[in-house]
Amino acid sequence: MMSQYTYFSYNTNEALFPSEREKQLLLDIFGKIDEELQTANPDLLIITDYIKLVLDYCLHAYDRQFKATPMANNDMLARFEQLCDDYYESKRSQTDGLLTVQYCASQLCLSVNYFSDLVRGMTGLSPQKHIQQKMLSKAKNLLLGTSMCVNEIAHVLGFQQPQNFTNWFKKMEQISPNAYRVEQEKRQK
């Protein structure tokens, strides 16, 4: 149940900034919790329900916060896209392996959960899905725009084993990299 409240692992610079209305709602709930605790026999089920309500209001407030600052969030998405491009252009994938959400969040000075929630809230897709789409696009470009063999492309993208790349590509496209290359070359003729 607590796993849905990812904000518990946000960094302090990723704090919630509730609106005045949200602050008042939360203060009212805290007041009700305090009242219940002051009774002779506090009902733990009621207190638990109030706490869940606080947690849910915080989720709602973060969701509003993500949507309320589209310019800053769009800038963050643009920086994320640039970071992905730079990772492959610098050939860092060949030394450090596959690009990860953790690496991107760290480079953007965000916690993984905040970064994930931000990207998902803005685009509907997880950062991992964005990375995979970027990598798939890069793989397709290398398959069609170079004479590199599949093993070389796997290495360029950061895969430790060429077979892992082949399996991943098949999962993404329902066709092997070599078959994709042949099929696309036939279409271009």
Taking residues 126-144, what's their average pLDDT? 95
Coil/strand/helix, residue 10 = coil
- Provide the Cα torsion 92, 93, 96, 98; round to 10°: 150
CA 157, 159, 160, 165 dihedral sign is negative
pTM of the model: 0.74
Q: What is the Cβ-side half-sphere exposure of residue 143, based on CA atoms within 13 angstroms?
A: 22
Report DSSP state, residue 98.
S
The per-residue pLDDT for range 41-52, each reduced to its tens digit, is 999 999 999 999
* Separation between Cα atoms, residue 40 and residue 61, nearest integer Å: 33
Taking residues 82-97, what's their average pLDDT? 94
